[in-house]
């Protein structure tokens, strides 16, 4: 999964029907588990752009989107955040959340 800047995230969000942005910190154990789950999601949904960023380097995004903790997955649809997920319960849970369309 590629690291995205805030600008890359905003451009992808506006230009694609759906995309995801995974936010983490490098010292977070839960984030390391969530990263493995996101690798599976990226392989499962090759047509959905998926990026990631260490939240320590995109602080303004954390403020703008009111990110409360990490790991956090933002799922967008048609330029708007559809889901903000903090509890990455299971691979099947993430699959259902990403696959769901409003």
pLDDT per position as a tens digit, 44-89: 999 999 999 999 999 999 999 999 999 999 999 999 999 999 999 9
- CA 40, CA 69: separation in Å to the nearest integer? 22
Report domain extents, the chain: 2-99
Check pLDDT > 70 for residue 101: no
Q: Which CATH number does 2-99 carry?
A: 3.40.30.10
Could you read off the pLDDT of 6-51 as tens digits, one per residue?
A: 999 999 999 989 999 999 999 999 999 999 999 999 999 999 999 9
Give me the torsion for CA of 10, 29, 86, 13, rounded to 10°: 10
The predicted model scores a pTM of 0.93
């Amino acid at each position: 999964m590629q690291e995205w800047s805030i600008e890359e995230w905003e451009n992808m969000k506006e230009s694609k029907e759906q995309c995801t942005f995974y936010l983490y910190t490098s010292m977070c154990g839960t984030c390391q588990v969530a990263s493995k789950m996101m690798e599976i999601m990226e392989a499962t949904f090759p047509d959905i752009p998926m990026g990631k960023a260490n939240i320590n380097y995109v602080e303004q995004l954390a403020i703008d989107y009111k990110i409360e903790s990490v790991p956090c997955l933002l799922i967008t649809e048609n330029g708007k955040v559809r889901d903000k997920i903090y509890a990455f319960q299971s691979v099947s849970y993430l699959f259902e959340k990403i696959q769901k369309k409003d």
